[in-house]
Amino acid sequence: MKAPEKNISTAGTWRKMLAARLIHNAAARVEQMPDSRVKVYVKTVRPWFLVPPLSWVLPLRRERGTVLDRLGTQVWNLCDGNRTVENVIDEFAAAHRLSFHESRAAITSYVQMLVARGAMAIVVDE
């Protein structure tokens, strides 16, 4: 038999992650695009070295925009701050006839990208 450390018994549960809520960055600006997509603008932080005269020749964009595709927009709209990650996964799965873990893999990787870009935050209730 396998040593205990090499099997699934040491893997944790996803319960805490699934109970978290996803909220939009309150400072983000959302622009509706004509084809039911959205573009999310997040304010950028000025780097410490970007001061005059360097900033005169290297202008800083005040916002960084991310265009969400149709599916991304659906995820964005589901993340309203009230739904838990589990709710979002379930609703996305039902809408696209996916299994729970198919939906979970798709949602979590997409949300990770949105969080990395500062468009979204994860609230974990202790």
Partner 1 sequence: MTTENTNLWIWRNIRMRIPADWEMLQFARSADEGRCAFADRYRFRLELSWRATAGSPDLERTISDYAAKLLEQTKRPPARLACGPWYGLQCERAGNGGPLPTSEADASDTTRFARFLPELRCVVEIVFLWPDGREQPLEETVLDSVAAEPQHDGRQRWRAFGMDILADSGLALTACRVEPASAEMLFADESSGTAERFARRGMVSEWLKEPVSDWLQRQAPDDAEMTVSTQHDRGHEISRTAGRIRGRGLRGKLSRTAWREAAAWICPADGRLYSVSRTGPRPASTDAELFGRRLACCREVAP
Q: Which of 20, 43, 72, 102 binds partner 1 (CB under 8 A)?
A: 102
Given CA atoms 22, 23, 29, 32 in this order, what sign does their dihedral have? positive
Question: Hey, which residues between 17 and 76 contact partner 1 (CB under 8 A)?
Answer: 18, 70-71
The distance of closest approach from Cβ of residue 7 to partner 1 in the complex, given in angstroms and rounded to an integer, is: 5
- Cβ nearer to partner 1, comparing 4 with 52: 4
With binding defined as CB under 8 A, does residue 119 bind partner 1? no
Q: Which of 46, 94, 96, 112 binds partner 1 (CB under 8 A)?
A: 96
Kind and range of the H or E run holding 95: helix 85-96
With binding defined as CB under 8 A, does residue 113 bind partner 1? no
**Strand positions, DSSP E, 7-119:** 21-24, 29-32, 38-43, 63-68
- Cβ nearer to partner 1, comparing 14 with 55: 14
List, in order, residues 6 or more apart from 28 with CB less than 8 Å away: 40, 41, 42, 43, 118, 119
Say how far apart CA 41 and CA 11 lie, in whole Å: 37
Quote the Cα angle for 75-26-103, to 5°: 15
Selected range binding partner 1 among 8-16, 36-44, 53-61, 118-126, rule: CB under 8 A: 8-16
Provide the 3-class DSSP secondary structure of residue 5.
helix
Q: Which of 50, 51, 105, 124 binds partner 1 (CB under 8 A)?
A: 105
What does the binding site for partner 1 look like in residue numbers (CB under 8 A)? 1-5, 7-16, 18, 70-71, 86, 96-106
